[in-house]
Amino acid sequence: MENYINEPSSLNVEGGLMGKKVLIATLYNPEPVILATTRLGPERLILLVDKEPSKEQENSLKVIQDSLGKVIEVKVVKTDVYDIVNVATKCVEVIDLQPKDDSIYINITAGRKTKAIGLLFAAYARHERVKKVAYNPEEDRNAVVYLPRLSFKLTESEKKVLEYIYSGKYESISDLSKKIDLSTAMLYRAIDELKDKDLITTEEGLKLTDAGKIARL
């Protein structure tokens, strides 16, 4: 995967490290991205485009690179269009590649809804890294809707259960209990919580839902 880290980090007036503003945004029409960039003033812009961009998407990217690209760093990440897990996974990878002192902002205005949802779920999975999640209503170019910065809020037991189910095949909770290092009470409690959060299903063996696959990232 391409390295999306901009090295080196800036120095503040005292000579210490100072993080940069990073905007990660979905792309279709250029206007929402240009508007969000103008308002935020990021030093790095990361755009999500389709694996096989449409002509309009390519034109939008050219407009942004020819304008914003002259003053800030513009990077492109290609993802699936409808596979929300793939989109979220790619976005989590990108977030994890940013220097720890950078401030990350998300804008989900443009592009397919599935891509926007994938980016939003990535923000949930990296709640501690994302400063704000924004949406600009089409009806009012001056309005900004800030979405809640939610988190999956998993306990250590729940994280462990997700990892075991992701990595192995278990037909029942009893089957999992023979492998996992958790007490029976903790295991059943974690299973109940994960089912309630719609992160796992137990209907045909223990399996992760799409949300569960994203939550474990």
Q: What is the pLDDT of residues 64-85, one digit of tens each?
A: 999 999 999 999 999 999 999 9
pLDDT digits (tens, 9 = 90+) for 9-23: 444 444 445 789 999
Instruction: Write out the residue limits of the CATH 1.10.10.10 domain(s) in the chain.
Output: 156-215
Q: What number is the average pLDDT over the span 142-157?
A: 91
C-alpha angle 97/6/47, rounded to 5°? 70
In the predicted structure, residue 100 carries a pLDDT above the cut 50 = yes
Residue 128, pLDDT > 50, answer yes
- Give me the pLDDT at residue 142, please: 77
Q: What are the backbone dihedrals phi and psi of residue 167, each rounded to the nearest 5 degrees, phi first?
A: -90, -20
- Topology (CATH level 3) of domain 156-215: Arc Repressor Mutant, subunit A (1.10.10)
Secondary structure letter of residue 169 according to DSSP: -
Which pLDDT score, from 0 to 100, does residue 138 have? 80
Q: What is the C-alpha separation between 43 and 105, in angstroms, rounded?
A: 12
Give mean pLDDT, residues 178-192: 95
Q: What is this structure's pTM?
A: 0.87
Q: Which residue has the tokens 């409690």?
A: 189
What confidence category does residue 143 fall into, taking pLDDT thresholds of 50, 70 and 90?
A: confident
Where exactly does CATH 3.40.50.10770 map onto the chain? 10-147
Q: How confident is the model at residue 6 (pLDDT cuts 50, 70, 90)?
A: very low
Confidence of residue 192 (pLDDT cuts 50, 70, 90): very high
Locate the DSSP E strands across the chain. 10-11, 17-18, 21-26, 44-50, 73-79, 103-107, 130-135, 145-147, 200-201, 207-208
Residue 139 has a pLDDT of 79
Answer whether residue 126 shows pLDDT above 90.
yes
Q: What is the pLDDT of residue 7?
A: 46
Domain 10-147 of CATH type 3.40.190.10? no
Q: Look at residue 11 in the predicted model and tell me its pLDDT.
A: 46
Lowest mean pLDDT: which of 3-12, 89-98, 200-209?
3-12
